Structure 1
């Protein structure tokens, strides 16, 4: 008769176990660890982890910081965002996004971070003839869109740098000024972004964060606002911002965030 221990040993995958041990260890520390520190904490020789760390770095799950320290990237976070949690969030968001479109007379979309970009995971058409829509699945920039600014603004400074690093790995080098980081801080302070679209003339990107239980931004809700001259009763941009922020707060509550505590 086979014991539980023997059964577990039969299906062991030592290399996989080693990689998971590293990921789980790095997930619990700030500032990263050297190869020697990883080996010591996992009670193994440093040589056992050299190839595994190299593969994790090459696959984008781990990055090297300060030359010899290893830290998790946001790749696992990005992968998780595009599966069940995001499908649930999009499902919760759909009726609220539809209501927002009806009230504001504008289209809106929901975006999350994934591997260096903001990815649109849900969108709602404007109820009347005119509106700006972006296809679900579209990858948009972190640096010149309302969604991207909000996704960066409502993360920690460490997370921001990882997100930017993911962009650099998958696309191209960027140079960000002190003014850009100051803008992110201003967005976080006022609770939303309002900016002229860098892609379409006459459009203003209005974006607000969906906050998770820890107060960090997990998604951005964006209205690409256009002035509807043929509909004088449509809400103006100030009223639309209020509707957007209200809807984002409702979605944050559904995501488990204590919005009042975060705002304090």
Structure 2
């Protein structure tokens, strides 16, 4: 009897732990042991010891005594990964300069497990600003960062990214107008859109390209109109500054791009 290559070196306990982590990664409010078992189609008793170990190792925490939620330990481990850490390091001075020039906050996001994940963030230099915390998972489909990460990839990669979102979260219907928008973003080189989450904020996003000219990150400025700040750049000037900073970061990442003056 032939053994399936994928099952030859099975580690059931490891698979069980990974199943729990992947499930909790897509849930904000946590799940009870019974809910975890139901979603994974297993007996609750099968997960007691595994959950206990994940809590003791700091990957999972208990909420209100009976709900389990993912901690930021996995994100911290990911930050130790050299390419991500190096990209964030390269980006820091450019993002600081961008914040000073635009008078706005900005953040850098990469694709991870069906979402855009913020790996670096810079606060606005003045009193007012709109920022997103490092480690936040944001949507691919209704944010500037998500649109840019999808727009500057091949059709095959784009579909794989969307499929991963569907597997890890929920079904979503994307009509032809969504793909048309991605093509338009790729053609003009950036995304400018009203925030779908916060009134009065506009997402200004540009791609950071790697050596193969694929998008490896999205640099986004959540732009808000500043009152009593006549010297602050307007939204058109701000997107130009975002594009320039993204192009400079692309050069540091090894891409052959032309920066605008």
Fold similarity call, TM over 0.5: yes
1:103 and 1:177, CA in 2 relative to 1: closer, same or farther beyond 3 A? same
Deviation digits for residues 120-149 of structure 1 (CA, Å, limit 9, x no counterpart): 000000000111010000000000000000
Partner Cα separation in structure 1 for residue 106 and residue 2 of structure 2: 51
Name 1:258's counterpart in structure 2. Answer: 256
Partner Cα separation in structure 2 for residue 82 and residue 188 of structure 1: 31
Partner Cα separation in structure 1 for residue 202 and residue 9 of structure 2: 44
Name 2:162's counterpart in structure 1. Answer: 164
Name 1:204's counterpart in structure 2. Answer: 202
Name 1:154's counterpart in structure 2. Answer: 152
Deviation digits for residues 125-184 of structure 1 (CA, Å, limit 9, x no counterpart): 000011101000000000000000000001110111110111111100111010000100
1:130 to 118, 128, 131: 128
Name 1:49's counterpart in structure 2. Answer: 5
Name 1:25's counterpart in structure 2. Answer: none
Tell me, what secondary structure is at the counterpart of 2:117? strand
Partner Cα separation in structure 2 for residue 208 and residue 169 of structure 1: 27
Tell me, what secondary structure is at the counterpart of 2:170? coil
Partner Cα separation in structure 2 for residue 199 and residue 51 of structure 1: 43
Aligned residue runs from structure 1 range 222-237, under 5 A: 222-237=220-235
Q: Cα RMSD between the aligned structures? A: 2.5
Unaligned runs of at least 5 residues, structure 1: 1-44, 61-78
Runs of 4+ in structure 1 off by over 3 angstroms are: 45-48, 52-55, 79-82
Deviation digits for residues 21-51 of structure 1 (CA, Å, limit 9, x no counterpart): xxxxxxxxxxxxxxxxxxxxxxxx9745252
Partner Cα separation in structure 1 for residue 159 and residue 10 of structure 2: 21
Rg (Cα) greater in structure: 1
8 Å contact 2:205–2:220 — kept in the other structure?
Answer: yes
Tell me, what secondary structure is at the counterpart of 1:249? helix
8 Å contact 2:247–2:258 — kept in the other structure?
Answer: no
Name 1:121's counterpart in structure 2. Answer: 119
Partner Cα separation in structure 2 for residue 130 and residue 116 of structure 1: 31
1:230 Cα deviation (Å)? Answer: 1.8
8 Å contact 2:145–2:219 — kept in the other structure?
Answer: yes
TM, length-normalised to structure 1: 0.70
8 Å contact 1:81–1:112 — kept in the other structure?
Answer: no
1:214 and 1:229, CA in 2 relative to 1: closer, same or farther beyond 3 A? same
